[in-house]
Amino acid sequence: MQQLEQQLKSVIPLGGKLGDPVEDLGPVLLFLSSDAAKFITGQLLAVDGGLQMLGA
């Protein structure tokens, strides 16, 4: 498990760390549940530290 974690960390463009649900996902969820996001529909927001842009 630790080897897989190290491999993931080495390819994440933003920060080289695994995401933290509170620090990284929490703000996105708060935004999406607020009135500020009331006009957003049918979107996929990747909270993955940039992995998607690498085609991962």
- Per the listing, tokens 């390819």 go with 11
| Stated pTM of the model | 0.68
CA 35, 36, 39: angle at the middle one, nearest 5? 85
pLDDT, position 56: 57
For 42-56, write each residue's pLDDT tens digit: 999 888 888 888 875
- Residue 39 vs residues 6, 30, 42, 46: alpha-carbon distances, Å: 39, 15, 10, 18
56: nearest Cα among 10, 24, 3, 2: 10
For 6-38, write each residue's pLDDT tens digit: 988 998 988 788 889 999 999 999 999 999 999
